[in-house]
Structure 1
């Protein structure tokens, strides 16, 4: 009868597949872009519009 000399080892790796790092990277990029837009004044409404009509013949 044959004698088996090899032992079988099973190694279990516990990895998440990288989806969490992908989401975290996307959030960091979004925060950087949002911060740059905020510091450059993209989200402010400081556009002053002044319309002045001068119609002849009307009292001031």
Structure 2
């Protein structure tokens, strides 16, 4: 994993833990990735930390299950 990819994963984990991700489009903009790339990063994070990721419509944020 490149240094840039690692920093995106770390930022993603922080945003999820603080439940401040926003919608998939907003989160993609925050990480400067496409929605498709975002879901690939989700998969990598889920496999790495062994926690699935869910989305709360009421909070408009992703969270760890």
Select the structure of larger CA radius of gyration: 1
Higher fraction of helix? 2
Larger RCO: Structure 1 or Structure 2 (Cα < 8 Å, ≥ 6 residues apart)?
Answer: 2
| TM-score, normalised relative to structure 1 | 0.30
| TM-score, normalised relative to structure 2 | 0.28
